[in-house]
Amino acid sequence: MNLALYHPWIYLRGGAERTILELVNRSRHRWTLYTHHYEPDATFDGFARLDVRELHPRIEVRRSFVPLARAAATIAAARLPGSDALLVSSESVGDFIVGRNPRPAAVYCHTPLKILHDPRTRAALRERDRAKSAALRLMAPSFEVVERRAWRRYAHIFANSEEVRSRIALARLAAPGAVEVLHPGVDTDRFAFGDREREPYFCVPGRIMYSKNVELAIDAFLEAHRRGLRARLVVAGAVDAKSEDYLAGLRERAAGLPVTFDLDVSDERMVTLLQRALAVVFPSWNEDFGIVPLESMATGTPVLAVNAGGPRETIRDGSTGWLLPPNAAGFAERMLDVEARAGELAPMRRAARERALEFSWDRFAARVDEVMEQIAANPA
C-alpha cells in the first residue's frame, strides 16, 4: 500500500521523530512523509533516506498560541497527493491536515496541544507570559471547536500512553474507550547494555526546552553537590532557536558547578553517554510518554524521574529506577544514594534492561500497519 504520514515539523531529535523513523523503517508498506517544516540537518540522519516532502508555505516552529493558530490555518488549507490512507502524527495542530484531504485517516497522538489541554503547561505559560496566556483564553474556544471537528474524521485513534489517553478525554476529543494505547518501542540493539565500568556523572538527556524542566536537575545537583556529591552532571541534547534563551538561563543557573552542556549530540555519542552514566535524571514535569527513560533502561541505566505522566508507565519504582516528587530535595537525596551505592546497582541495571526489552518497535509497526490496512479497506 501507498501510505501518507503527516507531521507538522520535522526538525528535532525527539520522541516523535524517533517514532516516525522507526515506524516507516519497519513497516511493510511504502510511506511518504509530509511536513510544513523540514530541517534535515537538525533532525535524525535517518530522515535523509526517506521520502520526505516539505509543503509550502513553511510554518513557524514557535509553540505559543498565535504562531500555532497561523500554522493551523496553513495546515488546514493544504492538499496532499493521493494515497491509500493517511496517518497523522499529532502533537498540537497536525490534526488540521484532514480538513481538505478526504481519505481514510488515523491518528497517532503524542499529546493534544499542551498549552491548551495540559494544566501544568498552561500554568507555566501564565508564569512566563501573561499576555500570551490571556490570548490563549480568548482564542481557545474557537480553536477547540475546529479541533474536535477534525478529530471526528479519524477512523482509528492511537495514543502513546495512558497519560495521553487521559488528556484526549479531558479535551473531549474522543472517549477513552475509543482510544488505543500503543506504546513506542526501543531499539535494544542500538541502545545496548552498558557493561563497562560506570563513570562518575549523572546524565540529563533529551531536548533542552522549558517543558523538560532541566532546572530541576540542576537545582537538585547543586543541593547534592553542597552535601558532598563528587559526580558531575552532563546535560546532553539538542537546542532549537526558540529555546536558546532557556539554555542561557540554565547555563547561568549552573555557573560554578561541574555541569557540562553537550549540545546536538549524535546518536552514537548519546548511546555512549547513557551506557557510562551512574544514572539518568529525567526531570520533565508531566511527560507525555518519554522515550528517553526507555533508551536509558535499555543500556542498563536506572532513571530518576518525576512521578507523573508517561514515566509511570515504563519505570518500575525501586526496581528499574525511581519515581520522585518534583522537588530538588528528593532528587538530590537519590543522587547521593546512587553515588554511594554505585557498586551495588548491578541487579537494578539488569532489571532495567529486562524492562526495556518489553517494548518492541517491530510490534509497534506491525500494529500500525494492521490498522492502516483496515481503514484503507473499509473507508467510512
Measured CA to CA, the distance from residue 367 to residue 26 in angstroms comes to: 11
pLDDT tens for residues 336-352? 999 999 999 999 999 99
- Given a cut of 80, is residue 129 above it in pLDDT? no
| pLDDT in the model for residue 122 | 73
| pLDDT in the model for residue 374 | 97
Question: What is the set of domains in the chain, with CATH numbers?
Answer: 2-185+360-377 (3.40.50.2000), 201-356 (3.40.50.2000)
- Given a cut of 90, is residue 198 above it in pLDDT? yes
- Given a cut of 70, is residue 380 above it in pLDDT? no
pLDDT tens for residues 353-378? 999 999 999 999 999 999 999 999 98
pLDDT tens for residues 296-312? 999 999 999 999 999 99
Summarize the confidence of residues 326-333 as an average pLDDT.
Answer: 98
Residue 295: pLDDT band by 50, 70, 90 thresholds? Answer: very high
Cell of 140: 481557545
Summarize the confidence of residues 208-229 as an average pLDDT.
Answer: 96
| pLDDT in the model for residue 211 | 87
Are the beta carbons of 91 and 16 closer than 8 angstroms?
yes
- Given a cut of 80, is residue 138 above it in pLDDT? no
pLDDT tens for residues 66-83? 788 899 999 999 999 999
**Could you tell me which residues come within 8 angstroms of residue 245 by beta carbon, excluding any fewer than 6 positions away?**
none
| pLDDT in the model for residue 62 | 80
| pLDDT in the model for residue 80 | 97
Mean pLDDT over the full length of the chain: 94
Summarize the confidence of residues 177-192 as an average pLDDT.
Answer: 98
Q: Under DSSP, is residue 293 helix (H, G, I), strand (E, B) or coil?
A: helix
Residue 79 to residues 49, 55, 139, 156, Cα–Cα distance (Å): 24, 9, 25, 21
Cis bond before residue 325 (omega within 30° of 0):
no
**Chain position carrying cell 490570548:** 135
Summarize the confidence of residues 229-248 as an average pLDDT.
Answer: 93
